A and B are shown apart, each in its own frame.
Chain A
Amino acid sequence: MKKAKNYEYSHAGVKQSILRQAKGLKIPQGWAEQIAEKVAKATDEWIADKELVTEDDLRRFVVSQLKELNADIAFAYHNHDKII
Chain B
Amino acid sequence: MSDLLCFATIALAGFTQACLQLSFGGLILLYHSSMGRHRRRKTRGLATSYILGVMILSFLAVSGAAFWISQAASGGLSLEIMLICVGVFLASAVVMWALYFRWGDHTELWLPRSISRFISRKAKHCNDRVEAFSLGLLGAFAETPMSLALFFLVGNCLVTVSANLQVLALFSYLVIASAPLLILKGAIKSGSTAVAAQKWRIKHKLFARFVSSASFLVLSAFVLAFWVY
Contact = CB atoms under 8 A, between A and B. Distances in A.
Interface stretch (A41-49, A51-59, A61-69, A71-79): A71-79
Given A24-B195, A26-B193, A75-B199, A84 B22 contact: yes
A80 B194 CA distance: 10
A71 B198 CA distance: 14
A73 B37 CA distance: 15
Contacts of A76: 32, 195, 198
Interface in A8-22: 19-22
A84 B195 contact: no
B116 to A, nearest CB: 5
Nearest to A16: B36
Interface residues of A, number: 17
Contacts of B33: 20, 24, 80
Contacts of A80: 29, 32-33
Contact-size category for B = 20 to 34
B108 interface: yes
Contacts of B198: 76, 79, 83
Contacts of A26: 35, 193
Nearest to B195: A76
B106 interface: yes
B32 A84 contact: no
A26 B140 CA distance: 29
Main secondary structure of the interface of A (DSSP, over half): helix
A19 B25 CA distance: 22
B193 A83 contact: no
B175 interface: no
Contacts of B35: 23-24, 26
Contacts of B120: 81, 83-84
Interface in B99-133: 106-109, 111, 116, 119-120
Contacts of B108: 82-84
Contacts of B36: 19-24
Contacts of A20: 33, 36-37
Contacts of B76: none
Interface of A: 19-26, 72, 75-76, 79-84
Interface of B: 21-22, 25-26, 28-29, 31-33, 35-37, 106-109, 111, 116, 119-120, 193-195, 198-199, 202
23 contacts: A20-B33, A20-B37, A23-B35, A24-B31, A24-B33, A24-B36, A24-B193, A24-B194, A25-B195, A72-B195, A75-B199, A76-B195, A79-B106, A79-B198, A80-B33, A81-B120, A82-B108, A83-B25, A83-B107, A83-B108, A84-B108, A84-B111, A84-B120
Given A79-B202, A80-B29, 12 more contacts: A20-B36, A21-B36, A24-B193, A24-B194, A26-B193, A76-B32, A80-B33, A83-B198, A84-B22, A84-B25, A84-B111, A84-B116
